[in-house]
Amino acid sequence: MDKGKIKNLLRDFKKGKITEEEFIEKLKYLPYIDIHFAKIDTYRTLKFNFPEVVYGKGKTIQQLKSIISEIKKFHSNMIVTKVEENLAEELKKDFPDILYFKEGKILTFKKGKKRTKKYVCVITAGTSDIPIAEEASITLEILGIPVKRIYDVGVAGIHRLIDKIEILNKAVCLIVVAGMEGALPSVVGGLTWKPVIGVPTSIGYGVNLNGISPLLTMLNSCSPNVVVVNINNGFGSAFFAYISFFLNK
């Protein structure tokens, strides 16, 4: 339930179109809907201007169908993250208007209209980090935030980033996705004064430890403008950037 729907309810109540009991009945869904295996918040748009985002990994096809059906009763759009292609194809049978972005493993129903010419810059250290970067980039685009992508510019080929300084400095903030040793966010943080959100990935050999090594590197960054999200959390970095974007307006 968003502000518009609440205002319409208030108007209907004031005009006598609905009773006090009916008004309360509608508002009782403000906290959440309980469908036994999941509890779905219906008020998230009041906080974030977007419905609750669903983590798809580990959920069955039937659970996802039920969750999507409930959210669609209240909202025209949603995001489901970490959805494998085979599940997306199954979901399309029930929801033919689904948009699925294979590389970012994101499912939605429409991309947002661009709200501004300002942008977030999404950067990867390597090509193998692109799926997590695309999760971030596509999330931002669904939320209506323009994105500029700079991929495969890690520290082993840092000269490929140097000529992009102007793009970095004009961004509202930067999302830097890196596996291996995870040094790129610190480098980017040293090149620009803008906020940098580091995203460690599980890409790397042996002592990468499935992303723990780059996570620790990023947490120990000496660049004071670097913050860090969890391993492979492209979505989390994008949503934080989205919030920062509007605080920066």
Domain boundaries defined on the chain: 47-108, 120-247
pLDDT of 76 over the 70 cut? yes
* pLDDT tier at 74, thresholds 50, 70, 90: confident
**pLDDT above 70: residue 46:** no
Answer whether residue 80 shows pLDDT above 70. yes
pLDDT of 1 strictly over 60? no
Q: What is the mean pLDDT of residues 21-42?
A: 73
Q: Which fold has domain 120-247?
A: Rossmann fold (3.40.50)
Residues whose CB falls within 8 Å of the CB of residue 33, separated by 6 or more in sequence, listed in order:
39, 40, 42, 70
Mark 79-101 as b/e (b = at least 16 C-beta within 10 Å).
Answer: bbbbbeeebbeebeeeeeebebb
In 3D space, the residue among 151, 245, 241 whose CA is nearest the CA of residue 198 turns out to be 241
- DSSP code, position 52: P
- Mean pLDDT within 22-30: 71
Cα distance between residue 85 and residue 94, in whole Å: 15
